Amino acid sequence: MGENTLPRATHPEVIALLDELVASGRPSSRTLPLPDGRRNFDELIAPLTDYPEVGAVEDGVIPVGGRDVPVRVYRPRSPAGTGTSVFLHGGGWVFGDLQSHDGMCRSITRRSGITTVAVDYRRAPEHPFPAAVDDAVGVVRWLAAHGAQIGVAARPLAVVGDSSGGNLAAAVSLVLRDEAGAEGSPVTFQALLYPATDPAMTTESYRENADDPFLSADEMVWYWSQYGGGRAPGDPRAALSAVTDLRGFPPTYLLVAGLDPLRDEGLAFADALRRSGVPVRCREYPDMPHGFLLFAGRLSRASDGLAEVADEIVAGLGGRG
């Protein structure tokens, strides 16, 4: 959460959540030493999310470039859909991990009936751009070639991510589009949930929501700087707004939150995809803040949104079996 901010929220559940967060007295994670900040981020989310039962949850590793990338595989109790969903968590490329987004992955898996593979990519500032992109792309490449080794469908694949994870999901689509051979990219669908796409941070929604208590403009300046090793990266694999040709991107579901500094860049990215001929379904939750899908234990809109995300993934991967 931002510091010294006044809530603009009007939805009663969001106001109640803000009151609960303020009463908890937790500091901003970025003001703490890095290990403490990461623990604080996870502990803030844990009691506020929802953890539905799924068929099985398995931790493992996938080899990428001579190193092992940790992953968590969520298998549905009653498989109902085709393909596999690869999930990339948010947290400003600095915070977040397999545990912080465990509830989101469980919700998506249970509703969709599709296996989810969550990726514990390397984080900044220890591992600045492009480490996270390299890990994410490497995992998707490996699954496309060897998914059967861990009992998941190699194709079709969806990439899914929230916030900075949405940035990484779109970066995966970009890299694999550019290197696709005769078989094409293994990514059939992408779901981008309030994604960060533009390090310029100059949109109207940045001005409207500069002091939002869930994500402030000042926090985003800090996150981009951490990710870029001291300044916001200009490489199009990070600055997706700089990509001028989005032809060949997979069909997209893009969700934005109305009270989010990232709202307008998400809408602009959806428009850019459409102009390139990419099928896009864009959904705005006007009275929700950034990160609201993490709070399914408190926000009914979060539960609704996760159900919609899951349904879009099912449709994007070819429907229920």
- Positions marked active-site: 163, 260, 290
- DSSP secondary structure letters along 88-117: E--STTTS--TTTTHHHHHHHHHHH-SEEE
Cis status of the peptide bond prior to 130, with omega within 30 of 0: yes
* Contact criterion met (CB below 8 Å) for 221 and 231: no
Of 312, 317, 297, the C-alpha closest to 111 is 312
Distance, in Å, from the CA atom of 220 to the CA atom of 199, rounded to the nearest integer, reads: 9
What distance lies between CA 135 and its chain's CA centroid? 15
Is 294 in contact with 103 (CB distance < 8 Å)? yes
Contact yes or no for 261/210 (Cβ under 8 A): yes
Q: In what helix (H) or strand (E) does residue 249 lie, and over which residues does it extend?
A: none
